[in-house]
């Protein structure tokens, strides 16, 4: 519980991956304050509902603005904030259930717009807050409270989904790599378009995958996480798909399209063509 938010009497379970993501996000905001010479109040965190969404109340130190929204609707709220205040840096924090289940329908339209927001997704492959139901990224056949005889669906590959829908910046990470994650979130916030940083953030209570991600090098067991090679060209979409097809959890920037115009640039362009909606002009437009 943050001293700054004593009215929120909840906390994460010991060892929850979200602690690492929180440290990275705090570090990224602090670095951004230095780089942009803008105050912390220029940042807004839009949270979904879930243990991950509680991040908005648990950030320590100087506080960004926070908006704890409703389950699955971080993107529409973020769009509203960004349209009202384009000068603000808007960051979404949400879980795999929130963003990829109920909220999945919002990703495609914002990818098409290239909305200038950053989404930090904490993927624990489970609905943590509601006590362990299966989520879109839960592996097939996993027994959970909502799939007592095993999950009957294939798991979703979120990175492939983002690439397919045309998200212009896609990065992947794990919550234990705080330093790398801090730098990646920073780069994502600088990206002029829709950026998603998808983080494997294990749930120590309902789906503890820390050991699986790390492996056991001493016993020759490779971990699921591996570094994106230095010669990977993130501007090459085919190479990005190939990278994701290698499986496991790549750590680093998978795809980055710097050429596409952002939604804000498109709106600015439209505004140069628009005119005042005067009554006489509107009536003229209907007359034959
Ligand atoms: C519209 C709506 N549907 C369902 C819920 C119940 N609910 C709250 S959090 C949650 C899932 C959380 O899972 P995830 O987004 O993965 O976050 P985590 O707790 O794992 O971080 C659900 C189904 C809700 N609050 N609102
Ligand atoms: S239930 Fe899981 S995701 Fe939620 S706080 Fe506990 S460890 Fe973290
Ligand atoms: Mg989850």
**How many angstroms is it from 21 CA to the middle of ligand 3?**
13
Mean pLDDT of the chain: 94
**How many angstroms is it from 239 CA to the middle of ligand 2?**
34
The domain containing residue 246 runs over which residues? 18-260
Residue 210 covered by a domain? yes
- Residue having the nearest C-alpha atom to atom 6 of ligand 2: 13
Non-local (6+) Cβ contacts of 279 within 8 A are: none
User: Could you read off the pLDDT of 113-153 as tens digits, one per residue?
Assistant: 999 999 999 999 999 999 999 999 999 999 999 999 999 99
CATH number of the domain bearing residue 70: 3.40.50.970
Structural domain total, the chain = 1
| CA 249 and chain centroid, separation | 16
Q: For 222, phi and psi rounded to 5 degrees?
A: -70, 145
* Residue pointed to by tokens 């628009």: 274
Residue 153 covered by a domain? yes
Cα separations in angstroms, 241 against 163, 170, 245: 7, 11, 6
Residue 67 covered by a domain? yes
Cα 255 from Cα 237, distance rounded (Å)? 7
Q: What is the pLDDT of residue 1?
A: 39
Residue 41 covered by a domain? yes
Q: Indicate if the pLDDT at residue 7 is higher than 70.
A: no
Residue 192 covered by a domain? yes
User: Could you read off the pLDDT of 219-274 as tens digits, one per residue?
Assistant: 999 999 999 999 999 999 999 999 999 999 999 999 999 999 999 999 999 988 87
Cα 93 from Cα 144, distance rounded (Å)? 24
Residue 78 covered by a domain? yes
Residues 191-198, mean pLDDT to the nearest whole number: 98
Cα 264 from Cα 261, distance rounded (Å)? 8
Is pTM, for the whole model, over 0.75? yes
Q: If 0-12 CB within 10 Å is exposed, 13-18 middle and 19+ buried, where does residue 207 land?
A: buried
- Residue having the nearest C-alpha atom to atom 1 of ligand 2: 128
Q: Indicate if the pLDDT at residue 10 is higher than 70.
A: no
Residue 3 covered by a domain? no
Contact 4, 27 (CB under 8 A): no
Residue 284 covered by a domain? no
**How many angstroms is it from 45 CA to the middle of ligand 2?**
20
């Amino acid at each position: 519980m943050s001293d700054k938010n004593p009215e929120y009497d909840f906390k994460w379970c010991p060892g929850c991956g979200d602690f690492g993501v929180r440290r990275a996000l705090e570090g990224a905001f602090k670095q951004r304050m230095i780089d942009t010479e803008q105050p912390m109040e220029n940042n807004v965190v839009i949270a979904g509902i879930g243990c991950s969404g509680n991040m908005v109340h648990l950030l320590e130190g100087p506080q960004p603005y926070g908006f704890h929204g409703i389950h699955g609707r971080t993107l529409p709220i973020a769009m509203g904030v960004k349209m009202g205040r384009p000068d603000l840096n808007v960051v979404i924090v949400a879980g795999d259930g929130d963003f990829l289940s109920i909220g999945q329908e919002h990703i495609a339209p914002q990818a098409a717009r290239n909305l200038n927001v950053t989404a930090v997704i904490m993927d624990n492959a489970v609905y943590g807050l509601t006590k362990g139901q299966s989520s879109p990224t839960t592996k097939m056949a996993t027994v959970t409270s909502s799939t007592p005889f095993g999950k009957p669906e294939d798991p979703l590959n979120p990175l492939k989904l983002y690439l397919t829908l045309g998200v212009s910046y896609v990065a992947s990470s794990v919550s234990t790599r705080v330093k790398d994650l801090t730098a990646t979130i920073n780069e994502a916030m600088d990206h002029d378009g829709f950026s998603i940083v998808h983080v494997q953030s294990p749930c120590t209570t309902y789906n503890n995958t820390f050991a699986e991600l790390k492996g056991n090098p001493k016993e020759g067991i490779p971990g699921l996480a591996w570094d994106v090679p230095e010669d990977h060209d993130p501007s090459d979409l085919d190479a990005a798909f190939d990278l994701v097809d290698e499986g496991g959890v790549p750590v680093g920037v998978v795809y980055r399209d710097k050429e596409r115009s952002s939604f804000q640039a498109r709106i600015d362009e439209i505004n140069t063509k628009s005119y005042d909606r005067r009554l006489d002009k509107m009536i003229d437009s209907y007359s034959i």
